[in-house]
Amino acid sequence: MADEQSEQTPGGEQWRSASELPPDVFAALHKPNRAINPVTIVATVDSDRRPRTAPFGSLRAITPQLLRLACGDYHDTYVNLCRDG
């Protein structure tokens, strides 16, 4: 992926991010309506830069650049996504 970025955290861990999903991941998460989705672990970072993970059964890939998931506005994942994108 041309737009892949890598970031080093203060603890020395390496995180990768990309502007779009790899083709195999997109194929696994791109399902027609009413199809059963695989449970997906969504990883975000809290405001203190600590990693947070949460399982979602509602995540779907609409395009390689766009994911859709159902998440309440009280959920830490929602707060982290709104803050960091």
Q: Are strands 5-8 and 14-17 parallel, antiparallel or unpaired?
A: antiparallel
Beta strands in the chain (DSSP E): 5-8, 14-17, 40-45, 51-56, 60-63, 66-68
Are 31 and 37 within 8 A, CB to CB?
yes
27: nearest Cα among 64, 54, 59: 64
How far is it, in rounded angstroms, from Cα 32 to Cα 83? 30
Q: What tens-digit pLDDT sequence spans the chain (85 residues)?
A: 445 555 565 666 566 677 899 999 999 899 887 788 889 999 999 999 999 999 998 889 999 999 888 899 999 999 999 998 7
